[in-house]
A and B are shown apart, each in its own frame.
Chain A
Amino acid sequence: MRVELTENRGRLAKRLQKITGENVMLCYQCKKCTLGCPSAYAMNLKPHELMRALQLGLEDQILWSGIMWICLSCETCNTRCPQDINILKLIDGLRTYYFHRDYYNPVPELPIMHRLFLKLVRRFGRIYELGLVLILNLKMVNPFKDTDMALPMFLRGKLKLFPHRSEGARELRMVMDRLEAMEEKT
């Protein structure tokens, strides 16, 4: 792969270090992260390649690969990293930093799911599983996804048709609003 380095290539790594406290420059490409990663097979950019791309400041390649949304957050990579780099923290840093920004994302389902999840939790204080699945399927234009699972679950009383509202929902909404205001300021 031909790589063109830009002048401010250190910017992304510095920004992430500020958000997460992790230093990507410590990575020496031993590939333990990739070898243990359960979803590496589905990634265009593998975890060790992400580390190198971060060192080189290849922002577009990172975003366009969708790696941050294919990661399952299973914590294997950071547990095994000989340099003690918390790779999941870095990926979470990327996710949160770009969450409200525009970029080409090959895996748009994931941020859509997270947004919807938090919206439902905001309303009910807890997750409303059936609602989450139904609305998400509509949003992914795949309305009948997993409908084969619904009947066996329903028959065993594992599918609640209606949401349950927690008494703590109001308090949670207040906390969410305050956090949002705080984050807007910074």
Chain B
Amino acid sequence: MRYAYFPGCSLSSSASDYDLSLRTVCRALDIELVEVRDWVCCGASSAHATSHLLSIAMPVLSLSHAETDGFERLIAPCLACLSRFKVANREMQENPEVREKIHRALDYQYRATVKAYHPLEVMMEEEMMEVIRSKVRKKLSGLKVACYYGCVLTRPPEITKFDICEDPQSMDSIIRVLGGEPLDWSYKTECCGVSMTLTRSDIVLKLSNDLLREAKEVGAHAIVVCCPLCQANLDTRQLQIEDKYGVRYGIPIIYFTQLMGLAFGAFPKELGLEKLITSPRDALEVCGLM
């Protein structure tokens, strides 16, 4: 299956490990990723705080490139981008006033035919689970993880239309297929505070500390994530959090694609595992993967 691929700004710089592991896993699953031609930033939290029209125009610009190139499905691995795409498509379909203005601004009649998907959505499609199962060569036996979905993968449900809003299960079921043990915990969709990360870091440290503490309490060896922004907050700020709250976590924050890659038998280098700040070595030794 061929998909337009929108890596987004994070995956092309600070989250290169997510990009690397996603490409590796997609190759194994016969999902072809074609980077969107001349894509631009989705505008994420800044555009919708500034101008509603701009917040629709920015994602639509990249979507229109995918549309002219004949794609109907687009993969966006970052939750911020994904959410902007879904909101933009919905506005373009349902709000004629906005649609008309965006058409004029872009000088292009975007028909909202390019649907945006998170990699998890693609992997949860029928038969895909069987393909994943058939690719598993090394089981993640004994590895206990807390799956962290972040804020806007499932919210608001009328726009995301994916998984169970307050208690999502998609990542949990993938981990189960890989042979790992997803733990029950109550912070699956709590926010890590990312839009404040550069400005009011105090809020981010508090929220991320809550998450790490809860994961530690339920006995997780690692937190598995599906968004570069969640990963950045929980991983790169973990030392700051430990300092501020006088605790020691040492919990690695691993992308679900990295775990899939490991289970498929890919080399750690192909998955960017050495790029994680909190080393995943201890956690992966549990299941004999490192």
A residues bordering B, Cβ < 8 Å?
Answer: 19, 38-39, 41-42, 70, 72-76, 78-79, 86, 92, 95-96, 99, 107, 109-115, 117-118, 121, 125-127, 129, 132-133, 136, 140, 145-146, 148-149, 152-153, 156-160, 164, 166-169, 171-172, 175-176, 178-179, 182-183
Contact = CB atoms under 8 A, between A and B. Distances in A.
Given A168-B39, A168-B62, A76 B155 contact: yes
Contacts of A117: 46
Nearest to A20: B52
A183 B53 contact: yes
A125 B50 contact: no
A146 B157 CA distance: 35
Contact of A96 (B12, B50, B193, B194): B50
B240 interface: yes
Interface string B28-66: 000000000111110101111111111001100110010
A113 B46 contact: yes
B155 A75 contact: yes
B107 to A, nearest CB: 8
Interface of B: 9, 12-17, 37-41, 43, 45-54, 57-58, 61-62, 65, 101, 104-106, 151-152, 155-157, 165, 190-191, 193-196, 198-203, 206-207, 236-237, 239-240, 274-277
Given A79-B155, A168-B61, A178 B13 contact: no
B46 A152 contact: no
B155 A175 contact: no
B53 A167 contact: no
B156 A182 contact: no
Contacts of A38: 190-191, 193, 207
A158 B240 contact: no
Contact of B9 (A39, A114, A127): A127
Given A146-B240, A179-B54, 15 more contacts: A39-B196, A72-B195, A73-B49, A74-B151, A74-B152, A75-B151, A95-B49, A96-B49, A111-B49, A118-B50, A121-B58, A148-B239, A158-B16, A172-B58, A172-B61
A115 B51 CA distance: 11
Nearest to B49: A95
B101 A72 contact: no
B65 to A, nearest CB: 7
